[in-house]
């Protein structure tokens, strides 16, 4: 079978190569999935570049997310799952220790524990299915890590990004009033289309003044946060007492200083979110809600570009460029 291998840490064009390997067989408790689409996430790019750890083998098949069709099952798995359309998560960064991280979804086939293959609703395409493992599950956790948001005001920073876009849709579907921040008029249109009732362009507007105006005297109840360092000092000025933050990234400063007492005085909780180490219960909740919202038409991840499998390096470069507004997909 064909697969995209990473042969070292470095630039995509230097270390990613298309090659051949043996088609896997499903072991006990596993399913063999014929991959149709593979997601390209920022975490995949960072892992390849060396920003998130060393190589675990001389060559590894890349990518965590994907979607396809179950072709065979191993011992202990219901044979009725053969032919099932599925989306995959945690494939090469799983706590299950899948072959020490040497397998991924950028391949014709992958064999994974059955629990990592979630049913894909009939009306949902494989490309969308490949956007769910990291972006949608991260969005779900970032929105709901502190509990239900029904009737609450939720702020989604970076509302046009892959995670932010899904976070808006999830928060809206869960009954929240959503405020989103963006950096351009085009991104504002994307955030509004996703369901944000209010959109704030942080390059043109005063965030504190505008968010306070929108949220009212009580302030924002919860934040789904794309850049913790950039917004920490805004929280005491814009969030309600006992508010919460689900922060899944902190790009402008990886070790942000915490304004402890201003946060403590308002009992604001900051919860870091990392999809790969989410509890099993959080993963099950995310899968259940994501599939329900997909089936209801309330969740539709945005895909910016689709690449052929052989163009994996170009896909990585596109993600690294920061110019994509939405997800990048490999067609397998």
Q: From the CB of residue 28, how many other CB atoms can be counted at a distance below 10 Å?
A: 11
What pLDDT is recorded for position 100?
47
Here the contacts of 77-83 (C-beta below 8 Å, separation 24 or greater) are 77/26, 77/29, 77/30, 77/31, 77/114, 81/31, 81/114, 81/117
**β-bridge pairing 109-113 and 153-156:** unpaired
**β-bridge pairing 16-20 and 2-6:** antiparallel
The crossing angle, in degrees rounded to 10, of helices 162-173 and 185-194 is: 40
| CA 295, 173, 150, 283 torsion-angle sign | positive
Phi, psi for 193 (deg, rounded to 5): -65, -30
The crossing angle, in degrees rounded to 10, of helices 137-144 and 162-173 is: 50
Question: Could you report the per-residue pLDDT of 115-147, keeping only the tens digit for each?
Answer: 999 999 999 999 999 999 999 999 999 999 999
What pLDDT is recorded for position 133?
96
19, 3 contact by CB (below 8 A): yes
What pLDDT is recorded for position 53?
77
Question: Could you report the per-residue pLDDT of 185-198, keeping only the tens digit for each?
Answer: 999 999 999 999 99
What pLDDT is recorded for position 99?
47
| CA 200, 204, 207, 208 torsion-angle sign | negative
What pLDDT is recorded for position 101?
58
SS (H, E, C) the chain: CEEEEECCCCCHHHHEEEEECCCCCCCCCEEEEEEEEEEECHHHHHHHHCCCCCCCCCCEECCCCEEEEEEEECCCCCHHHCCCEEEECCCCCCCCCHHHHCCCCCECEEEEEHHHEEECCCCCCHHHHCCHHHHHHHHHHHHHCCCCCCCCEEEECCCCCHHHHHHHHHHHHCCCEEEEEECCHHHHHHHHHHCCCEEEECCCCCHHHHHHHHHCCCCEEEEEECEHHHHHHHHHHHEEEEEEEEECCECCCCCCCCCHHHHHCCCCEEEECCHHHCCHHHHHHHHHHHHHHHHHCCCCCCEEEEEEHHHHHHHHHHHHHCCCCCEEEEEC
Instruction: Please give the Cα distance from 33 to 89 (Å, whole number).
Output: 12
Tally of CA atoms within 13 A in the half-sphere of 138 that contains its CB: 26
67, 129 contact by CB (below 8 A): yes
What pLDDT is recorded for position 131?
96
Residues of the chain with pLDDT under 50: 97-100
Q: Which residues of 279-295 are buried (b: 16+ CB within 10 A; e: fewer)?
A: eeebbebbbebbbebbe
């Amino acid at each position: 079978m064909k697969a995209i291998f990473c042969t070292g840490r470095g630039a995509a064009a230097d270390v990613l190569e298309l090659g051949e390997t043996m088609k896997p067989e499903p072991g006990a408790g596993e399913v063999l999935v014929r991959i149709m689409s593979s997601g390209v996430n920022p975490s995949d790019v960072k892992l390849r570049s060396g920003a998130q750890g060393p190589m675990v083998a001389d060559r590894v098949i890349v990518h965590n997310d994907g979607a396809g069709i179950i072709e065979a099952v191993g011992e202990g798995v219901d044979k009725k799952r053969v032919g099932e359309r599925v989306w995959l998560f945690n494939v090469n960064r799983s706590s299950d220790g899948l072959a020490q991280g040497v397998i991924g979804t950028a391949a014709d086939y992958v064999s994974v524990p059955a629990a990592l293959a979630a049913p894909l609703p009939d009306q949902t395409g494989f490309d969308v299915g490949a956007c769910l493992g990291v972006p949608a599950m991260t969005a779900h956790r970032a929105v709901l890590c502190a509990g239900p948001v029904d009737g609450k005001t939720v702020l989604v920073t970076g509302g046009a990004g892959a995670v932010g876009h899904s976070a808006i849709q999830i928060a809206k579907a869960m009954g929240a009033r959503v405020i989103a921040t963006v950096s351009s008029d085009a991104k504002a249109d994307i955030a509004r289309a996703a369901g944000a009732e209010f959109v704030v362009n942080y390059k043109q507007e005063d965030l504190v003044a505008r968010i306070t105006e929108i949220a009212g005297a009580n302030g924002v109840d919860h934040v789904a946060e794309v850049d913790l360092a950039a917004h920490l000092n805004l929280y005491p000025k814009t969030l309600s007492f006992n508010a919460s933050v689900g922060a899944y990234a902190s790009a402008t400063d990886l070790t942000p200083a915490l304004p402890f007492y201003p946060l403590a005085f308002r009992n604001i909780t900051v919860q870091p979110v990392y999809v790969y180490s989410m509890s099993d219960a959080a993963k099950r909740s995310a899968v259940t809600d994501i599939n329900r919202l997909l089936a209801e038409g309330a969740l539709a991840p945005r895909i910016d570009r689709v690449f052929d499998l052989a163009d994996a390096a170009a896909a990585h470069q596109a993600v690294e460029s920061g110019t994509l507004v939405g997800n990048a997909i490999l067609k397998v």
